[in-house]
Structure formats: C-alpha cells, structure tokens
Amino acid sequence: MPRHDGRKPTQLREWKIKRKYTRSTPGSVLISAGRTTVLCTASVELSVPPWMKGQGKGWVTGEYNMLPGSTSPRKQRERGGKTDGRTTEIQRLIGRSVRAVVDMTALGEKTITLDCDVLEADGGTRTASITGALVALVDAVRSFASAEDARRIIRDSVAAVSVGIVDGVPVLDLDYPEDSAAHVDMNVVMTGAGKFVEVQGTGENAVFDEQDLAAMLKLARGGMKELAALQKDALGKSWPFA
C-alpha cells in the first residue's frame, strides 16, 4: 500500500547533498531529505581539549541546533549555553557516530567540530545530520591531509536512516507525519562496510518482536547502501574509501 506521499515502504525520500555551501569552514554541506534540510559544517582547530593534551590523539565532536524557523510553531532559541535533553542526546549521537570511523591517532592533536544546524525539520533531522557530517568531515580532513593520509584518518564512511512501523507496515525513512503516527520508531547508524554503530529503537504505541526488528534492519541496510552511494557521488574524486 502506498504511503501518504506515494512512496513504497522500501523507498527513501529524495536526498540531496551540496558540498562547499559556505566558504568560512573547510567542510560545508547542505543536505536535504525531502523537506528536512540541514547545514553541516566541519571546523578544524590545531589543538585538543585540555584532558587530551600530550596523548598524540585528536578529537571529533558534534554540535546540533534547530533554528527558530525550522519548525512551526517557532522554536525558541537555546541561550546561555543551555541545551534541552533532546539537543544534548543528538549532539552526542553525531559525535559518537563519526568518531566510530575516525582514527584519532592518525588525526593527531587536532579537534574537528561538526556543527549541524537544522534549517527545516520534517522528520529525520539527526539521520540527515550524521549523513551530511561525514561528507563535511572528509572535506575538512582533505584541507590538511593528502588522499593517502585521509584514508588513514577516516577508515570508513558512516550514515544514518530512520525506519519504523506505520499502520502495521515496516517503512524506510520516515517524514514527520509518519514519525508522529508510527507504532515503532528506530534510527540506525551504519558504516559503509555494513557494521552497526548504533540502533535506537522504541515502541511508541506498541511493542515489536524479532520479526519486526529484522524487517526494519533489512530496510535500513538497503537505505544505507543508497546513502553511501549518494555520499560517494557528492564527494567524487575526494571519496577516500575503496
């Protein structure tokens, strides 16, 4: 049965990646998944947090923010360094996801900050942030490293996608109406090699069994292959992986 937007259960929304969207950072990506749009930038500092100094290792961290006009009604700005629980959770997820594919020793004593700012939210902002952040990261690393060194620093690609059960049917890449109505909602983060980084699954209005879980993970794996191909196409000759 077609979904409300006409997609098949196995079909992603239309995803687009535009590199070098701004010029103030070495990595800058505008990524969209349907109407969800996120600006992902990667900044490089030639230092590490105090607790890491002298270890010969680098650090990669994520920041996440939803701009006031990204939702209706307007979202209040987070001021004074205070972030709500959801923002903190997503920031940590972005950092964990990208660090999973980075060799911190090969990076050296540098800090790369991945800023993901949501311009428009229609579901899947965290998955779009992770998928776009990887592309911004590659461009940032290539700003100071050769192609060979970049392959040592970034060991694999990483991307994320949502899956869920809506009206009893497992579906891929939920938009906001589907996410709101889903009986089960799950976010899956995977590497290009097909290894899981994180699986966040919740029974919103129902429980789910192993068969449901297997069906959703199969959908996620298929979607992840498409997203890795999109990342590769966006990076072109800068794609550092085999």
- Is position 126 within any domain? yes
End-to-end CA distance of the chain: 38
- Is position 1 within any domain? no
- Is position 240 within any domain? no
What pLDDT shows up at residue 41?
Answer: 98
The CATH number of whichever domain residue 178 belongs to comes to 3.30.230.70
Total domains in the chain come to 1
- Is position 164 within any domain? yes
Place of tokens 């060194």: 149
Q: What predicted TM-score, i.e. pTM, was given to this entire model?
A: 0.95
> Could you give the CA distance from residue 125 to residue 162 in angstroms, rounded to a whole number?
10
What pLDDT shows up at residue 78?
Answer: 76
SS (H, E, C) the chain: CCCCCCCCCCCCCCEEEEECCCCCCCEEEEEEECCEEEEEEEEEECCCCHHHCCCCCCEEEEEEEECHHHCCCCCCCCCCCCCCHHHHHHHHHHHHHHHCCECHHHHCCCEEEEEEEEEECCCCHHHHHHHHHHHHHHHHHHCCCCHHHHHHHECCCEEEEEEEEECCEEEECCCHHHHHHCCEEEEEEEECCCCEEEEEEEECCCCCCHHHHHHHHHHHHHHHHHHHHHHHHHHHHHCCCC
Domain that holds residue 65: 15-235
- Is position 160 within any domain? yes
- Is position 90 within any domain? yes
pLDDT in tens, the chain (242 residues): 679 999 999 999 999 999 999 999 999 999 999 999 999 999 999 999 999 999 999 999 999 999 988 988 898 887 766 678 889 999 999 999 999 999 999 999 999 999 999 999 999 999 999 999 999 999 999 999 999 999 999 999 999 999 999 999 999 999 999 999 999 999 999 999 999 999 999 997 789 999 999 999 999 999 999 999 999 999 999 998 86
- Is position 53 within any domain? yes
Query: Can you name the residues that pair with 31 across neighbouring β-strands?
Result: 17, 38
- Is position 242 within any domain? no
